[in-house]
Amino acid sequence: MKRFFAAAVVAALLFSCRTGRPDGVAVVPLTATTAEDAMEQLRGRRASFNGLRSLMRVRATTNGKTQSFRAQLAVHDAQRMELIAYTPVGTTALTLKADGDRVTSNPEVAPESFAFLRATGLTPAEIGMLIAGLPPRDDLQYEVEAGGLRRASFGDVVVTFEPPSFPAKNVVVTRGDDRVEIEHLEVVH
């Protein structure tokens, strides 16, 4: 009986510390055969955008310091997003929310920690859309292949996608010496 109880407690602890998986329906990849067709499909998806969630593995290098963690990105629309960073055991380490250009976090973090989310000209939610592989607006510079975005740039921020696909799989965001590497593990509507 003691072994059963101990196993049940361990199972409950492991389950309660597990990183949350995003709820929803998997995002369907593009069906384009040309870069032009891919961009049209991406614009269509942006026009009917009703939010998405992504479970990600993140490696961020800021001010010469590197941190790796799992995170969940929820983009509700072009103005509202939420980023939840998890500890190695899967508990919530940070919740960052943005509504337009207003960014709040719990616990409070230094503004430079997520400086790329405050890049000039885009809301953090638009950057979240871009990280997922969806061009948030037409006034950015894009390189597109049949599978999706290959590269996007605005101001001093460059976002590369490997392979070019929607939904994005591996994304690298660079701004000066800062670098954020993202692996999307699961993307859902």
DSSP conformational letter for 113: G
| Chain mean pLDDT for the chain | 86
Residue that has been written with the tokens 């400086």 in this structure: 115
Q: Tens digits of per-residue pLDDT, 25-67? A: 999 999 999 999 999 999 999 999 999 999 999 999 988 899 9
Q: List the Cα angle 153/159/146 in 5-degree steps.
A: 90
Looking at residue 8, its pLDDT comes to: 31
Instruction: Supply the Cα-derived Rg of the chain in whole angstroms.
Output: 18
**Which residues in the chain come in under a pLDDT of 50?**
1-19
Q: Which two tokens stand for residue 40?
A: 């049209």
What pLDDT is recorded for position 116? 66
Q: What fold, for 19-188?
A: outer membrane lipoprotein receptor (LolB), chain A (2.50.20)
Contacts of 73 (CB under 8 A, 6+ apart): 53, 54, 56, 81, 82, 83, 128, 131, 132
Residue 40 burial (CB < 10 Å; 0-12/13-18/19+)?
Answer: middle
Please, what sign has the CA dihedral across residues 84, 186, 173, 140? negative
The per-residue pLDDT for 20 is 53
User: How many whole angstroms separate alpha carbon 159 and alpha carbon 29?
Assistant: 19
β-bridge partners, 85: 71, 94
Domain ranges of the chain: 19-188
Dig out the tokens for 56 from the structure: 């990600």
Place of tokens 């699961």: 186
Give the Cα separation of 40 and 120 in Å (integer): 26
